[in-house]
């Protein structure tokens, strides 16, 4: 009599059931982390856009404007629309932050609103730096 190696159908079903149970336990907590991670990833992207606006203003010796889209679908940078799905962007006050050729800006605050909360970025009027603020 020859002995064959392998798995029985019952063993395979037990392993699949255990894997399904483990996935059912792990996936819901990961789903709750995603909106928070999306908002956390959005902040450096907007700060980079603000820094880029300041650099463009200096190198091209002209004023560059940043403003959030009123519908919340993205932002406007120097008359060019950039879609942005991670969070709703709003600029406090006049709604526009201008970066000047001499390196300063009009200053202001950019709000990022997402499912996980709200984050603020403050643009310094003296040097045009974008700083993260709670």
Question: Can you give the CATH number for the domain in which 47 is found?
Answer: 3.55.40.10
Domain presence at residue 78: yes
pLDDT value of position 36: 56
Domain presence at residue 127: yes
Domains of the chain: total: 1
Tell me the average pLDDT across 54-73: 87
Domain presence at residue 9: no
> Per-residue pLDDT for 99 more than 90?
yes
Domain presence at residue 17: no
Residue 131: pLDDT band with limits 50, 70, 90: confident
CA pair distance 11, 72, nearest whole angstrom:
52
Domain presence at residue 85: yes
Domain presence at residue 5: no
Question: Do the beta carbons of residue 67 and residue 110 sit within 8 Å?
Answer: no
């Amino acid at each position: 009599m020859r002995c064959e190696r392998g798995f029985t159908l019952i063993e395979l079903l037990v392993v699949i059931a255990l894997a399904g149970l483990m996935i059912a336990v792990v996936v819901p907590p990961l789903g709750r982390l995603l909106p928070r991670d999306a908002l956390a990833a959005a902040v450096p992207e907007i700060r980079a856009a603000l820094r880029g606006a300041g650099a463009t203003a200096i190198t091209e010796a002209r004023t560059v404007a940043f403003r959030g889209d009123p519908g919340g679908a993205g932002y406007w940078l120097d008359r060019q629309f950039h879609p942005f799905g991670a969070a709703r962007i709003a600029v406090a006050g006049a709604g526009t932050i201008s970066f000047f050729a001499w390196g300063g800006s009009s200053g202001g605050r950019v709000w990022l609103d997402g499912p996980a909360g709200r984050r603020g970025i403050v643009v310094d009027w003296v040097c045009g730096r974008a700083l993260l603020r709670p």
